[in-house]
Amino acid sequence: MFMCFYCLMFSYIFIILFIDNLLKGNFNTITNYYRIAHLSKEHFVF
């Protein structure tokens, strides 16, 4: 349950940051967030 809650919170924050950077047009930070999310997916296997 805790891991599921953590996954939901992480994805929620990731989406907010993604939309915020998309509106600003910061594509470099978007790719950085994507790399961080990809690395965390490898560490946390759900």
The predicted-structure confidence for 1-45, as pLDDT tens digits, reads as follows: 556 777 778 788 888 887 877 777 666 776 777 777 776 666 554
Q: pTM to 2 decimals? A: 0.41
Q: How many separate domains does the chain show?
A: 1
Torsion angle of the four alpha carbons 15, 39, 5, 14, in this order, in degrees rounded to the nearest 10: -10
At residue 30, the pLDDT reads 66
**Spatial CA neighbour of 17 closest among 4, 33, 38:** 33
pLDDT in tens, 10-19: 788 888 887 8
Position of tokens 């919170």? 9
Are 43 and 3 in contact by the 8 Å Cβ rule? The answer is no
> Could you tell me which residues come within 8 angstroms of residue 30 by beta carbon, excluding any fewer than 6 positions away?
18, 21, 22
Domain containing 14 equals 2-43
